[in-house]
């Protein structure tokens, strides 16, 4: 019996050429990839048509909100057709899930983002596809026709797109109606792609070209550690290829990879040449930021923050001289930071400052700017954006099995927007400081030994001719810093976390509990 599945159409190559022409036609000035990126789970962000599910039009309707917050980049979690609410099992890489809207809605979103200097990156989920993807269903259909015969790629190229074997292994699932198994590390509905296949790589290149041609600025690379589970060198090779390929398509395209691993491993993965890797060693519930906040008031812990920043900068830079750090506090896979801060407003604010005063492309998970909490099962980490207590104005329904907290510690956006002391207004101020001082976002980092003492974490950032010094009081008590040796420096930005002002009296800088300050060289 002959298999009738289609092989890659010759028009495919043409499509890439068209996409490349489109990319060149965009003709934008090279983008600065040091941005404040806002991670959006479209499902839970804003619903424009009242069906309870967030959508692209909903995101577009909130762009002024995001601009006011100060962000200038958006990472959209997967928007392609999928059988799950989270959409990390992609059914078609070139389409928009109808629940989120249409390709026209996506173009409109990009257009409106462009007007506001907001760049958009998409989730690139290529460790695996959805089990309903045409490549996978064609391959399985072919295997069912085989009997005892060996598969032939000439008959069905898609058998080489996945990792099929006749021998059962851990992390594999049986192809129904056959004695074949396929690799499926995450779940049976997520068959792992064979990233060693030239045909698969060519497909990935086409997918990237397609979206870059529409105007996206790059991709967030999902699950890079699982490309070849447990094989770092092989994963690094794939990341190198991805970076090289995306740069060939669009010179300034931005890639940030998810490598959920230790400091040493993240450092190694930078050897791939990839621009950014999420800085898990600093973010999440086990990262340096929350550890230091939990150790607030302990001088050894507090001062270790600045030295850890210096160490990471040197290590990552040593592995990739063009690296851009990608700090974050929370994302859709981990509990929200406000919860780890025990609902304490000052600690939640300081955690935000520790993240956004790190160099690189800083990431902010939707709702973090209003101190939303959320932990437990995954859907509970992906709860509806809390726009207002009435839960209208585009508020979505919670995803399946999401457990909402009885209340949020700091209220909704609507309740916070006119409160100067709110988490929301602190974030606005913080992002404004980051955007206004290039050394904050771009600087090389070194602990400022003379000031990095007691409960003050102090570090200097240098970017070309520019520099700044950041001071953080990581303690529940007010503290002072002696600036007598810093006569040529001025207090440029103050972030008070609990109301009391930061004051400079002569050479004595008084930092209230959990306060942050930025010094800049005085103008002559
Ligand atoms: Ca909707």
Q: For residue range 152-207, list pLDDT tens digits in order.
A: 999 999 999 999 999 999 999 999 999 999 999 999 999 999 999 999 999 999 99
Residue 360 · residue 325 · CB < 8 Å: yes
Query: What per-residue confidence (pLDDT) applies to 18?
Result: 78
CATH number at residue 509: 2.60.40.1180
What would the pLDDT profile of 392-419 be if each residue is shown by its tens digit? 989 999 999 999 999 999 999 999 999 9
* 106, part of any domain: no
The parent domain of residue 465 ranges over 444-521
What six digits make up the tokens of 8?
Answer: 């890659």
* 40, part of any domain: no
* 454, part of any domain: yes
Q: What is the mean pLDDT of residues 299-326?
A: 98
Task: Give me the residue label for tokens 């909704």.
Answer: 412
Domain ends where: 183, 210, 242?
A: 183
* 138, part of any domain: yes
Tell whether the model's pLDDT for residue 465 goes beyond 50: yes
Tell whether the model's pLDDT for residue 473 goes beyond 70: yes
What is the CB-side half-sphere exposure of residue 108 using CA atoms within 13 A?
12
DSSP assignment letter at 8: P
* 337, part of any domain: no
CA 397–ligand 1 middle distance (angstroms): 10
* 507, part of any domain: yes
Query: What per-residue confidence (pLDDT) applies to 30?
Result: 61
CA 372–ligand 1 middle distance (angstroms): 22
- Residue 222: active-site member: yes
The fraction of the chain above a pLDDT of 70, given in percent, is 96
Order of strands across the sheet that contains 254-257: 276-277, 254-257, 218-221, 119-124, 73-76, 36-40, 362-365
Q: What is the mean pLDDT of residues 56-68?
A: 98
Instruction: Give, in degrees to the nearest 5, the angle at Cα 411 between 407 and 415.
Output: 145
SS3 268: helix
Domain ends where: 152, 167, 183?
A: 183
What would the pLDDT profile of 446-460 be if each residue is shown by its tens digit? 999 999 999 999 999
Q: What is the mean pLDDT of residues 506-510?
A: 96
Task: Give me the residue label for tokens 């998409």.
Answer: 122
What six digits make up the tokens of 376?
Answer: 């437990």
Q: How far apart are CA 337 and CA 350, in angstroms?
A: 11
Query: What per-residue confidence (pLDDT) applies to 14?
Result: 60
Count of residues in the chain? 524
Query: What per-residue confidence (pLDDT) applies to 523?
Result: 78
CA 169–ligand 1 middle distance (angstroms): 41
* 157, part of any domain: yes
- Residue 258: active-site member: yes
Q: What is the mean pLDDT of residues 504-510?
A: 95
What would the pLDDT profile of 342-395 be if each residue is shown by its tens digit? 999 999 999 999 999 999 999 999 999 999 999 999 999 999 999 999 999 899
Q: How far apart are CA 161 and CA 8, in angstroms?
A: 12
Query: What per-residue confidence (pLDDT) applies to 27?
Result: 59
CA 379–ligand 1 middle distance (angstroms): 18
The pTM score is 0.95
Domain ends where: 148, 183, 218?
A: 183
Query: What per-residue confidence (pLDDT) applies to 299?
Result: 98
**Nearest Cα to Cα of residue 134 among 187, 174, 95:** 95
Query: What per-residue confidence (pLDDT) applies to 2?
Result: 43
The fraction of the chain above a pLDDT of 90, given in percent, is 93
Q: What is the mean pLDDT of residues 241-251?
A: 97
pLDDT band at 85 (very low <50, low <70, confident <90, very high): very high
What six digits make up the tokens of 311?
Answer: 């160490």
Catalytic one of 222, 226, 284, 448: 222
CA 211–ligand 1 middle distance (angstroms): 23
Largest CA distance in the chain: 89
* 491, part of any domain: yes
Catalytic one of 258, 313, 325, 344: 258
Tell whether the model's pLDDT for residue 281 goes beyond 90: yes
Residues 149-174: b if buried by 16+ CB within 10 A, e if exposed: eebeeebbbbbbbbbbeeeeeeebbe
What would the pLDDT profile of 313-349 be if each residue is shown by its tens digit? 999 999 999 999 999 999 999 999 999 999 999 999 9
Q: What is the mean pLDDT of residues 15-43?
A: 80
Q: How far apart are CA 128 and CA 120, in angstroms?
A: 22
- How many domains does one find in the chain? 2
């Amino acid at each position: 019996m002959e298999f009738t599945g289609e092989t890659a159409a010759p028009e495919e190559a043409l499509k890439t050429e068209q996409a490349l022409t489109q990319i060149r036609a965009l003709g934008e000035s090279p983008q600065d990839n040091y941005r404040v990126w806002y991670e959006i789970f479209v499902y839970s962000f804003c619903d424009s048509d009242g069906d309870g599910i967030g959508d692209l039009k909903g995101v577009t309707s909130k762009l002024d909100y995001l601009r006011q917050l100060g962000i200038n980049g958006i990472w959209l979690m997967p928007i392609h057709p999928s059988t799950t609410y989270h959409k990390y099992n992609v059914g078609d890489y070139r389409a928009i899930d109808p629940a989120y809207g249409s390709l026209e809605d996506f173009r409109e979103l990009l257009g409106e983002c462009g007007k506001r200097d907001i760049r958009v990156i998409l989730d690139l989920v290529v460790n695996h596809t959805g089990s309903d993807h045409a490549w996978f269903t064609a391959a399985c259909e072919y295997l069912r026709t085989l009997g005892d015969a060996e598969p032939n790629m000439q008959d069905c190229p898609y058998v080489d797109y996945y990792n099929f074997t006749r021998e059962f292994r851990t992390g594999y699932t049986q192809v129904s109606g056959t004695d074949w198994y396929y690799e499926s590390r995450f779940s049976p509905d997520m068959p792992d792609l064979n990233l060693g296949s030239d045909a698969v790589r060519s497909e990935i290149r086409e997918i990237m070209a397609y979206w870059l041609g529409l105007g996206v600025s790059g991709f967030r690379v999902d699950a890079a550690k699982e490309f070849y589970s447990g094989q770092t060198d092989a994963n690094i090779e794939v990341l190198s290829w991805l970076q090289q390929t995306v740069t060939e398509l669009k010179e300034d395209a931005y890639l940030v990879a998810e490598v959920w691993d230790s400091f040493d491993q993240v450092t190694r993965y930078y050897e791939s040449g990839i621009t950014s890797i999420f800085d898990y060693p600093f973010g999440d519930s086990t990262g340096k930021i929350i550890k230091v906040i939990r150790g607030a008031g302990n001088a050894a812990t507090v001062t270790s923050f600045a030295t850890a920043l210096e160490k990471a900068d040197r290590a990552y830079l040593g592995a990739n001289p063009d690296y851009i750090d990608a700090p974050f506090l929370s994302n859709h896979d981990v509990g929200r930071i406000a919860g780890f801060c025990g609902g304490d407003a000052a600690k939640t604010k300081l955690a935000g400052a520790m993240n956004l005063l790190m160099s690189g492309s800083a990431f902010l998970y939707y709702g973090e700017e209003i101190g939303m909490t959320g932990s437990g099962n995954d859907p509970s980490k992906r709860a509806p954006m809390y726009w207002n207590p009435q839960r209208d104005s585009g508020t979505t329904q919670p995803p399946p099995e999401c457990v909402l907290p009885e209340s949020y510690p700091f209220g909704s956006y609507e309740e916070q927007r006119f409160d100067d002391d709110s988490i929301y207004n602190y974030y606005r101020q913080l992002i404004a400081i980051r955007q206004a001082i290039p050394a904050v976002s771009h600087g090389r980092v070194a602990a400022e030994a003379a000031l990095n003492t007691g409960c003050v974490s102090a570090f200097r950032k240098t970017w070309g001719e520019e520099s700044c010094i950041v001071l953080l009081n990581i303690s529940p008590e007010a503290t002072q810093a002696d600036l007598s040796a810093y006569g040529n420096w001025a207090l440029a930005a103050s972030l008070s976390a609990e109301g009391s002002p930061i004051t400079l009296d002569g050479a004595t800088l008084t930092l209230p509990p959990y306060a942050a300050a930025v010094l800049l060289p005085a103008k002559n």
